[in-house]
Structures are given as structure tokens and as C-alpha cells.
Structure 1
Amino acid sequence: MARRLRPVELDFAESAPLRLVFVAEAAAPPKAVYAALADDVEGWSCWFSGVSRSAPTDGGRGRDVRLAGGTRFAETVLAAEPDERYAYRVDATNAPGVRALLEDWRLTPAGTGTRVRWTFAADGPAPFRLVLTLARPGLGRAFRKSVRALDRRLADS
């Protein structure tokens, strides 16, 4: 892992220079979605697009994530509120440009399912922010595809 990032707290999800927010509906109830996010960290590679490996660290207070292209993240879990919220910040990465990164997953009941809101909050130099802004449509598609894959995984279990 190459670089340490600036440590941020939960309020960064609202104050970051770049915030990408995506919403999708899952048929599964919040309890099941939360369990997949927070309790089955190793399972992320089975449903989240681009994740090739994910493992809990530090007794579940952290995560080690690898993406298909070789990008790695060492993360700290900042919020683990059953059936409602799961958030983590990136402490170290080999990804270029990023100075701070936090992801915040919010779950709210939607009928018998769940409204999933994913906030991707980041800071970096202007070229980094521009690239992420241009990548927004693709990230949105990947998120929606991943929520559908998670639904299928939960329905099969």
C-alpha cells in the first residue's frame, strides 16, 4: 500500500469537495442488506462490481479491499448501525490522486424492501475530481448493477 490518506470523519459525507450520491431499491429487507454490507465483508466480491477481494481487519473495525484492476484500500469502519448505516473511510491506497475518501451506505425501509443510498465522498486535486465527475454515470450503473446482484444473492440464500 503506497499512500496514507487524510483521515476524515462521518461529516465528510456532507462536506467533501466531491460527493457522488446514488440510490437504488433492493427487494431484500434492511436487515439482510445490512448483514451483507457489514457482516459478510468477504462476500462483497460476489456482488459488488469491480471488487475482487474484501476481508475484515482489526476484529471487524477495518477492511482490506482489492479491486479487479489492482487498486487496494485499507479502510476503517466509522459507522455500523444495524439495518440503517454502514460507513468507512480509506486510510491508505495505491490509487493516484485521492487525498481523502469516505463511503457511506444508508438503508431505509421501502415497502418490504430497502432504499439503498451510497454516498461516495472524496477529495483530491482538480484533475482527480474531474475524472470522478466524468466517471459518475459509470459508477451509478455499477452501483445499480451491484444492488441487483446483491438482491439475487440474498434471494438465493
Structure 2
Amino acid sequence: MARRLRPVGLDFAEVAPVRLVFTATAAAPPEAVYRALAEEVEGWSRWFGAVTLARPTHGGAGREVRLAGGIRFEETIMAADPVRRYAYRVDTTNAPGMRALLEEWALTPAGSGTSVRWTFAADGPAPFRLALRAARPGLGLSFRRAVRALDARLTPAHGRA
């Protein structure tokens, strides 16, 4: 059953009780990475292994996301700054224990490619926070694999091997 989470602002990425931050580098330029994140939402399931469905809602102001295992999210886009960042807050979910969640993808030029920083900012009761911290290695691995898969999809279109 879906539950409504506490609405949070962009500052939650800096002040959340649990902040998991991961970085990876893509050979693709920031414009291409941003486009895949923010404009080609339905493509997420082709490069982020945990995502089984992603689609824009509310005229692009929100998203519906489903993960492997049946977790569902209804989200509000909080920031869509071309080539800089893409952030969204979860409004409703069927994930147990979660009280608030905001994710931010920050993009920085890195040579001819892009440094990608993913911040997973969350709140919930103590057992949820403990479990999320324990899941950090798996989330980091999932993120790095996703960036590699995304980069593999993007780089051929830009003349790279």
C-alpha cells in the first residue's frame, strides 16, 4: 500500500539524517548525461538495472518509477538545471519505513566527459536508517553499474568507442 512521505526541499540533500553520496565518471558530455536523466525518463530501465519502469507524469513535473522487487515511487521533480543537476523527491511509495527521500544527480564537466555525483538523502525510523547505511555498498555498486551502462549507451552517439 502506498504511503505519503514528508515533503522536503532541495536542502534535504545536505541535511538528511542519512546521506549516501556516490561519484562516477562518464565519458559522455554533461549535455548527453543530463538529457538521459531528465528528458529521456522512460529510458532509465535500459541502463539502471534496478529500474523496471520510469515514466514522466504531470506534464514532466513528476515521475512514476518502479524498481525490481515491486517497490514503487511517485515523485516530484525538484530541480532540472540543464547539464548541472537533476533532483526529485519521493511523494508516495510502498517501501517500508521510509519517511522522506530526495535524490540529486549533480553533473560536472570532467575533461571531455562528466563527473556524476548521486546523493541519496533519506529519513525514517532508526532501524530504517541503520538498514540504509548497511545497504550503502550495494547502492554504490548499483550506481556505478548504472553510470557505466548509461555511458555505454551514450558514447557511441558521440563518436567514441
Question: Which residue of structure 1 aligns with residue 127 of structure 2?
Answer: 127
Aligned residue identity for 1:34: Y
Q: Sequence identity of aligned pairs in percent?
A: 73
Aligned residue identity for 1:39: E
Question: Which residue of structure 2 aligns with residue 151 of structure 1?
Answer: 151
Partners of 1:65 and 1:105 lie apart in 2 by 16
Partners of 1:2 and 1:37 lie apart in 2 by 25
Per-residue deviation, 1:2: 1.4
What TM-score do you get using the length of structure 1 for normalisation?
Answer: 0.98
Per-residue deviation, 1:21: 0.1
TM-superposition CA deviations, 1:38-78 (whole Å, max 9, x none)? 00000000001200000000010000000011000000000
Name the count of aligned residue pairs: 157
Partners of 1:91 and 1:69 lie apart in 2 by 19
Partners of 2:60 and 2:2 lie apart in 1 by 23
Question: Which residue of structure 1 aligns with residue 57 of structure 2?
Answer: 57
Partners of 2:146 and 2:80 lie apart in 1 by 20
Per-residue deviation, 1:156: 3.8
- In structure 2, list runs of 5 or more residues that go unmatched: none
Per-residue deviation, 1:106: 0.2
Question: Which residue of structure 2 aligns with residue 97 of structure 1?
Answer: 97
Q: Secondary structure at the match of 1:97?
A: coil
Is the 8 Å Cα contact of residues 49 and 143 (structure 1) preserved in structure 2? no
What TM-score do you get using the length of structure 2 for normalisation?
Answer: 0.96
- CA RMSD, 1 decimal: 0.7
Partners of 2:121 and 2:71 lie apart in 1 by 17
Question: Which residue of structure 1 aligns with residue 140 of structure 2?
Answer: 140
Question: Which residue of structure 2 aligns with residue 79 of structure 1?
Answer: 79
Partners of 2:138 and 2:101 lie apart in 1 by 18
